[in-house]
Structure 1
Amino acid sequence: MNEAASPFQGKKLLIFDLDGTLVDSSPIHARAFAEVFAPLQVAVDYDRIAGMTTAAAVDRLLLDAGREAAAEERDRLRDAKQQRSRALIEQELREIPGAVAFVTAARALFRCALCTSASPPSAEAALAAIGLAGIFDPVVTSADVRKGKPDPEGFLLAASRAGIEPARALVFEDSESGLAAARAAGMDAIAIGPGLRDWASLLAEMEAGA
């Protein structure tokens, strides 16, 4: 019986999403959006905006609510949400179980990059909170791209900065927009989350093939 090839076979670059993949930040971001939009009486369905940049999520929430807002108001909402989420990250953020152990082991075998829709300050705060500050190279955030996920720009930029062709990269994502971005970039991807793959089993699989 032929065993399925390891997803790590032939890969040189691992690209990690951050929110929902390495850190359990979805409840934090959902809460921050809900608090910021509550005075506008706009309900937040976080599943519809998960994986988007904050600016794109703000626009989607306003559009879904049928509300028009000037650029200054959209910027205010974006900034308020980012400030609130950073405060909650510093107080409450936790890793997705097994994520830190996996990244720590993977660094000895692969180039490890980060591609996140978070802003640079939010990404830095989250990585510091779980002890992964300064681990990833390159780091691509919302400040580096014109189009967020599901556009492949971020993943392609990460591969370009690493000097590794997209086909030799493996992406770890939790959101459909992120998985779609990986596919569009021509990269294999592993979905992380409940009922999907978990870091402990992936660590065992990676080490078995090392």
Structure 2
Amino acid sequence: MKGFVFDLDGVITDTAKYHYEAWKELADQLGISIDLKFNEQLKGISRMDSLERILAHGNKQSAYMQEEKEAFAAQKNEAYVQLLQNLTPADLLPGVAEFLKEAKAKKMPCAIASASKNAPFILEKLGVIDLFDAIVDPATLTKGKPDPEIFVKAAESIGIKPEEAIGFEDAQAGIAGIKACGMYAIGVLADEPLTQADRTVHSLAELNMDELIAL
């Protein structure tokens, strides 16, 4: 193996609570009730896809023009970014800082494959942006997860083939995308079982770098 590709939310840090707070605030404004269980459907998918699911949940998918939907999505993002101001390196998930530093020491390039347009800002707040060699820009994508496009681009961004990379994901859609391009998949377990993953862990602290490189 020649490099690592990471989803961001749920793998590097957990900002799901901030996403949920921001989406719930917007949903309440629109007269739609969502809860934490429903919020699981929004993990790993784009902002506009998340909004469409919320509107469908409230039977309001045809109630708004595209411009209005884009304004709602921007409003949610502003609320989310405000909440992200509270992030610090203490919000890194267990084992992440150590894993990234060891990867750097062993010259194993690392890329971020996240649908979040806020990824650079989040990594800055967490103090680890310098440990990544590339961050895929979601604006360059034509399809969202589970399509493998983002993972293929992530591998290309660090100069390797997908089959030479190990991908890390906490969502089923992400695992499906990783496997669809021939990448080795490590599932970081949270609230859902991750079928198709080649291996599952509860944190990156469980992993041995030399064993991964030798796969």
Query: Following superposition of structure 1 onto structure 2, how do residues 21-60 of structure 1 map, counting pairs within 5 Å?
Result: 21-44=11-34, 45-60=38-53
Distance, in Å, in 2 between the alignment partners of 1:142 and 1:96 is 23
| Paired AA for residue 14 in structure 1 | F
Partner of 1:84: 79
Matching of residue 71 in structure 1 with residue 74 in structure 2: no
Matching of residue 148 in structure 1 with residue 155 in structure 2: no
SS at match of 1:91: coil
Matching of residue 164 in structure 1 with residue 137 in structure 2: no
Distance, in Å, in 1 between the alignment partners of 2:27 and 2:190 is 28
SS at match of 1:171: strand
| Paired AA for residue 123 in structure 2 | L
Q: Over residues 72-129 of structure 1, what are the superposed CA-to-partner deviations in whole Å (9 max), with x where a residue is unaligned?
A: 111011111111111111114611122122111112221111110101xx11221011
How far did 1:208 drift? 6.1
SS at match of 1:43: coil
Normalising to structure 1: TM-score of the pair?
Answer: 0.87
How far did 1:177 drift? 1.0
| Paired AA for residue 113 in structure 1 | A
Contact 2:110 2:158 in 1 (8 A): no
Distance, in Å, in 1 between the alignment partners of 2:58 and 2:155 is 37
Normalising to structure 2: TM-score of the pair?
Answer: 0.85
Distance, in Å, in 2 between the alignment partners of 1:17 and 1:88 is 20
How far did 1:157 drift? 1.0
Aligned residues: 196
Distance, in Å, in 1 between the alignment partners of 2:44 and 2:137 is 12
Distance, in Å, in 2 between the alignment partners of 1:27 and 1:209 is 31
SS at match of 2:131: coil
Structure 1 unaligned blocks of 5 or more: 1-10
| Paired AA for residue 59 in structure 1 | E
RMSD (Å) for aligned C-alpha atoms: 1.8
Partner of 1:117: 115
| Alignment counterpart, residue 173 of structure 1, candidates 169, 172, 196 | 169
How far did 1:156 drift? 0.7
Q: Over residues 162-197 of structure 1, what are the superposed CA-to-partner deviations in whole Å (9 max), with x where a residue is unaligned?
A: 221111010001111111111112111101134851
Distance, in Å, in 1 between the alignment partners of 2:176 and 2:80 is 25
How far did 1:50 drift? 0.5
Contact 1:159 1:166 in 2 (8 A): yes
Q: Larger deviation: 90-99 or 51-60?
A: 90-99
How far did 1:139 drift? 0.9
Contact 2:148 2:180 in 1 (8 A): yes
Distance, in Å, in 2 between the alignment partners of 1:141 and 1:60 is 23
Matching of residue 104 in structure 1 with residue 94 in structure 2: no
Contact 1:170 1:187 in 2 (8 A): yes
Partner of 1:3: none
Distance, in Å, in 2 between the alignment partners of 1:165 and 1:126 is 27
Q: Sequence identity of aligned pairs in percent?
A: 30
Contact 2:111 2:157 in 1 (8 A): no
| Paired AA for residue 20 in structure 1 | G
Partner of 1:201: 206
